């Protein structure tokens, strides 16, 4: 079976899209963002294509492209669009598929459906991205508990930011989750520096077993 992975986060603006770009490049995967909210700046799909060096055929079009940079349920309402959550079905691909959610697990897609509800239906293994800064223990353990309570397979947790061994270790110990590695902040942030960081910090086999 061709591997499929969901990349989600404990919060928004933690570097999840940069991580997704590096992982897609690392695994030679296709990339799909089901719902994009906010089109004025570079979209997540464009960021992944640029930083991951993904060619056009490896970028799958978003199911919904919403103008307003807000939670999908609000962006859809402001755009006069109704998100059909049942239509959010991962496409079949010839390569591994990387799917990126929006913000955290509890982001609403409509008045009744959260992203985590869709992940439960898909039953695709999840990589949880977490910051290393203050507050990460609470956010990470809550997210891990939410995934496990719904029976969603969790591949492991990937930390983003300056390494923080104490926080990372206690999260993995209490959450009983595998630590996949830590992606540091990169300056400059380019495909080359991102590739090198992934080679140093992660093992490709951890994302497929």
Question: Two tokens at 116?
Answer: 């985590």
- What's the CA gap between 143 and 125, in Å, rounded? 14
Question: Two tokens at 174?
Answer: 């209490």
Count of Cβ atoms closer than 10 Å to residue 207 Cβ: 21
81, 66 contact by CB (below 8 A): yes
Q: How far is CA 74 from CA 33, 38, 111, 194, in A?
A: 18, 11, 9, 33
* Of 16, 33, 120, 148, catalytic: 33
- What's the CA gap between 108 and 102, in Å, rounded? 9
State yes or no: is 33 an active-site residue: yes
Coil vs helix vs strand at 14: coil
- What's the CA gap between 7 and 109, in Å, rounded? 17
71, 37 contact by CB (below 8 A): yes
CA dihedral 40, 24, 185, 115 (to 10 degrees): 60
CA-based R_g, the chain, Å = 16
Residues marked as catalytic: 33
């Amino acid at each position: 079976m061709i591997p499929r992975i969901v990349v989600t986060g404990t919060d928004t603006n933690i570097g999840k899209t940069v991580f997704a770009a590096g992982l897609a490049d690392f695994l030679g995967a296709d990339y799909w963002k089901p719902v994009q909210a906010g089109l004025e700046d570079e979209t997540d799909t464009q960021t992944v294509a640029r930083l991951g060096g993904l060619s056009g055929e490896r970028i799958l079009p978003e199911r919904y492209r919403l103008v307003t940079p807000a939670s999908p349920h609000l962006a859809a309402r402001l755009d006069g669009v109704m998100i059909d959550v049942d239509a959010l079905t991962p496409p079949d691909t010839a390569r591994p598929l990387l799917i990126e959610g929006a913000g955290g697990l509890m982001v609403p897609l409509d008045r009744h459906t959260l992203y985590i509800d869709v992940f439960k239906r898909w039953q695709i293994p999840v990589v949880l991205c977490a910051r290393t800064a203050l507050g990460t223990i609470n956010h990470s353990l809550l997210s891990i508990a939410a995934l496990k309570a719904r029976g969603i397979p969790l591949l492991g947790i990937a930390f983003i930011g300056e390494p923080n061994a104490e926080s990372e270790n206690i999260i993995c110990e209490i959450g009983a989750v595998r630590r996949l590695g830590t992606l540091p902040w990169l300056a400059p942030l380019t495909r080359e520096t991102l590739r090198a960081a992934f080679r140093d910090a992660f093992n490709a086999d951890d994302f497929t077993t």
